[in-house]
Amino acid sequence: MAEPEFQVTGHATVLHVKDMATALAFYRDTLGFTVSFSWEEPPRYVCLCLGDAAIHLNSYAPPAGPSHVCIFCKGIDAFYARLVAGGVNVTAPIGDRAYGMRDFDITDPDGHRLVFGQGISEH
């Protein structure tokens, strides 16, 4: 079978942040993302990963407004409990949704909405 001429091999969610140090502390120290790469010192553009999910933080331009990112995961209840215990701003508590996901929402320091979810059939 011939390889398709065009295919998508990944994506990068880029969030514009007001203060890189605050954003890094939240994603790395609070949520547990690891820094994959950063640009400049002090960093003004950083890629962070949590499992297969990557988020790029960009402090070159001010945020145009909050974004909405969905991150699919396993072990959702344990992750939720860890974040709640750490005082993370939960904006929608964990629950089973009619659309087939068990998920919850949090808000980062710049107002970006992050939804962490797991398929109910995977739970």
Domains of the chain: 13-122 (3.10.180.10)
The pLDDT tens digits of the residues spanning 46-55 come to: 999 999 889 9
Cβ contact 55:27 at 8 Å: yes
pTM: 0.80
Cβ contact 90:106 at 8 Å: yes
**Looking at the predicted structure, is the pLDDT value of residue 62 above 80?**
no
Q: Does residue 86 sit in helix, strand or coil?
A: coil
Mean pLDDT over residues 92-114, rounded?
93
**Looking at the predicted structure, is the pLDDT value of residue 11 above 80?**
no
Cβ contact 5:19 at 8 Å: no
